[in-house]
Amino acid sequence: MSILDLKYKAVRSMTRSLTENLSAEDQMVQSCPEASPVKWHQAHTTWFFETFVLRPFLAGYKPFREEFYQLFNGYTSSPGEELPWRNLRASFSRPSLNEILGFRAHVDREMGRLFARCVDAQVSRRIMLGLNHEQQHQELMLTGIKHAFFSNPLHPSYGEASLGNELSGTTPTLAWHSVQGGMVEIGRALNGEDPLDFCFDKETPRHRVYLEPFSIANREITCREYLEFMSDDAYMRPELWLSDGWDAIRQASWEAPMYWDRDSDDETGWRVFTLKGWHGLSILLDTPVCHISFFEADAFARWRGCRLPTEVEWESVATHESCTGNLLDAGQLHPTAAAGESIQQFFGDCWEWTASACMSYTGYKPLPGALAEYDKRFLPGQMVLRGGSCVTPADHVRATYRKFFKPGTRWQFTGIRLAV
C-alpha cells in the first residue's frame, strides 16, 4: 500500500469519525450563510475526487449519480457563473444522508481501483489537493456545527467530555520576541520532483521581502486580557475602531466575542459556548480568546498601544517554530492555555489575524481551470490569518499556509497575537 493510499484512507476516515455522533437531522442544518450542512461537506469533498480524479483518469469509471456533478459543485456551474442554490444547501432533504454515504463508499472503492494501478505524478498531485481540500472541510464542518448547535435553543453539545482543567493555568507574562529585520524569504518553493510535496497555490512563489525591525508577542491574547478590554468600555469607544468596524459592532450589537453570553452564576458574569457545551468564563480566563473579528482584534491591539503583525512578520518567526500545538488531533476542540515562557502557540489554538490584506504574491500563477481553489474572485476585501486552530488537522498546517476571511468573520476559531 502506497503512502498516498494510506493518507487517502486516513483523511477519509477522519471525516467519518467527525460525523459519527451527528444525526441525519444534525447534518442537514445550515445556520448561517457562510456555513454549509455537514451532509453537503461530505458530498462535496467526494465530488472533488469523482470530478478531478476518477472521471479523467480511471478508465471505465461510472459516476455514482450524474446529477451530483452539478449539485455538489462548490462554486460555479461554469467559469464565472454562480450556482443559484449555493446559499440554500439546507433546503434540500434529498439526496438522503444514506445516499451521500453510499456516494462516499462508491468513490472510495473506485479510488481503491485507481491506487491498485500505477498512479503517476499528475494524478498524485490532484489527489493531494483533494485530501487537503477535504481537511479544510473537516474544519468547516466543526465550526459550522458549533454555530448550528449554538443557534439551537437546546444548545446541544458536539463532544461528550467536558473541558478539562488543562485549559487553565498560570499564564506566562506577555513578553516580546525581537526580530532585527532585514531581507527574509517567505512563501513555498515546491519540490517539483515529489508529487506528495504539497501546498496551495496562494502560498507560492517563494520570494524575498525586506522587513524593518519589529517585536512579536510570545503568545496569544487570553480571555482574561480581552475581558479587561471589554471592561474598559472598549465596545463603546469609537476612537479604538476602524470605521467599518465601528459600523459593524453597532449594526450587530456586539459587546463580546461570539459565543459569550451573560451569566450571573459565574464570577466573571459570562459563560462561553464550546463544542463541549457551556462553560463559565472563569475556567477559561487563561485560554486564548477566540471567535473575534479582525475589527475586534485590531481595536484590542490599538487599545494596548500595539498592532497586529503583518503576515510577512508572522511567517518570518513561525518558520523557525515547530508545526505542533493544540490542533484537531489533540481532541481538545477548544483553545488551551499557554505554558512556559518560550514563544509559542503559532500553530493550533486560534487562527491569528494579521494586518495584511490577502493579495497574490508577485509571480503567482494559479492552477489551470477549476483546480484553482483560491482563484482571485475570493480575495477582494479579505484579511490573512495564519497558524491553524484547535480544529485544524495536524498535518494540514505549515508556516506558509495562508487562510483568509472577511474582516467581520467571527464563526471561525480566530484570535489575536500582538506586534510592535
Strands of 403-405's sheet in order across: 403-405, 383-386, 351-357, 414-415
Give residue-wise pLDDT tens across range 38-97.
999 999 999 999 999 999 999 999 999 998 988 888 755 444 445 555 566 766 778 999
Give the pLDDT of residue 13: 98
Mark the ranges of the chain whose per-residue pLDDT is less than 50. Answer: 77-81, 374
**CB neighbours (10 Å) of residue 322?**
9
In 3D space, the residue among 175, 174, 173, 177 whose CA is nearest the CA of residue 214 turns out to be 177
Q: Give the pLDDT confidence of 344-385 residue by residue, as tens digits.
A: 999 999 999 999 999 989 888 876 665 665 455 556 789 999
Q: Is the peptide bond before 95 cis (omega within 30 degrees of 0)?
A: yes
What is the predicted pLDDT for the residue at 79? 40
- The predicted pLDDT at position 76 comes to 53
Please name each of the domains of the chain with its CATH number: 3-151 (1.20.120), 165-415 (3.90.1580.10)
- Predicted local confidence at residue 267, as pLDDT: 96
- Please name every residue paired with 277 in a beta bridge, in sequence order, or none if there are none: 274
Q: Which residues are paired to 208 by β-bridges?
A: 185
Q: If DSSP states are collapsed to H, E and C, what string results for the chain? A: CCHHHHHHHHHHHHHHHHHCCCCCCHHHCCCCCCCCCHHHHHHHHHHHHHHHHHHHHCCCCCCCCCCHHHHCCCCEEECCEECCCHHHHHHCCCCCHHHHHHHHHHHHHHHHHHHCCCCCHHHHHHHHHHHHHHHHHHHHHHHHHHHHHHHCCCCCCCCCCCCCHHHCCCCCCCCEEEECCEEEEECCCCCCCCCCCCCCHHHCCCEEEEECCEEEECCCCEHHHHHHHHHCCHHHCHHHCCHHHHHHHHHHCCCCCCCEEECCCCCCCEEEEECCEEEEHHHCCCCECCCCCHHHHHHHHHHCCCECCCHHHHHHHHCCCCCCCCCHHHCCCCCCCCCCCCCCCCCCCCEEEEEEECCCCCCCCCCCHHHCCCCHHHCCCCEEEECCCCCCCHHHCCCCCCEEECCCCCCCCEECCCEC
**For position 379, what pLDDT does the model report?**
64
Q: What percent of the chain has pLDDT over 70?
A: 92
